[in-house]
Amino acid sequence: MNNKVGLVHSLKDGQKYMDTWPMRKELNLLFPEQRIIKATKFGIKVMPAIAAISVLTQLAFQNPNAMPQAVIIALFAISLPVQGMWWLGNRANTQLPPSLAGWYRELHQKIVESGFALEPMKSKPRYKELAQILNRAFRQLDKSALERWF
112 shares its domain with 86: no
Per-residue pLDDT tens over the stretch 77-128: 999 999 999 999 999 999 999 999 999 999 999 888 888 888 899 999 999 9
What is the extent of the structural domain holding 36?
A: 1-21+28-93
7 shares its domain with 59: yes
99 shares its domain with 83: no
Q: Structurally, how many domains does the chain consist of?
A: 2
Lowest mean pLDDT among 39-43, 101-105, 142-146: 142-146
52 shares its domain with 118: no
Distance, CA of 71 to CA of 56 (rounded, Å): 10
58 shares its domain with 129: no
82, amino acid identity: V
State which of 56, 75, 93 marks the end of a domain: 93
pLDDT of amino acid 66 = 94
State which of 93, 108, 142 marks the end of a domain: 93
Per-residue pLDDT tens over the stretch 48-76: 999 999 999 999 999 999 999 999 999 99
DSSP label of 97: P
